[in-house]
Amino acid sequence: VAAITRVRNPILLARAVMERTPHILMVGAGAERLARRAGISMCRPADLITQRARDRWRAALDRRAQEKSSLEDDHGPGGFGTVGAAALDVHGALAAATSTGGVGGKMPGRVGDSAIIGAGTFADSPGAASATGQGEAIMKTTLCREAVLAMRRGDPREVAERVIQELGTITGGQAGVILVDRAGRLGYAHNAEVMDIASFDPTDGFTYRWASPLKPASKSLARNG
Which residues are near ligand ASP by CB under 6 A? 80-82, 100, 102-103, 112-114, 120, 132-135
The helix/strand/coil state of 9 is: coil
> Measured from the CB of residue 12, what is the shortest distance to ligand ASP in angstroms?
19
What's the CA gap between 79 and 174, in Å, rounded?
11
> Residue 102 or 213: which CB sits closer to ligand ASP?
102
146-171 burial, b for 16+ CB within 10 Å, e for fewer? bbbbbbeebebeebbbbbbbebbbeb
- Output the smallest distance, CB 182 to ligand ASP, in A: 25
Q: Which amino acid is at 128?
A: A
Question: Would you mind telling me the total number of residues written for the chain in this entry?
Answer: 225
* Side chain identity at residue 175, one-letter code: A
Closer by beta carbon to ligand ASP, 38 or else 85: 85
Catalytic residue of the set 5, 21, 50, 82 = 82
Q: How far is the CB of 135 from ligand ASP (least distance, A)?
A: 2
List of residues 6+ apart from 34 with CB closer than 8 A: 13, 16, 17, 20, 21, 26
Nearer to ligand ASP among residue 32 and residue 130 (C-beta): 130
Q: How far apart are CA 135 and CA 123, in angstroms?
A: 18
- In the complex with ligand ASP, the residue whose CB is nearer, 127 or 133, is 133
CB of 1 to ligand ASP, least distance (A): 13
82 is catalytic: yes
Residue 126 CB-half CA count within 13 A? 18
Residues taking part in catalysis = 82
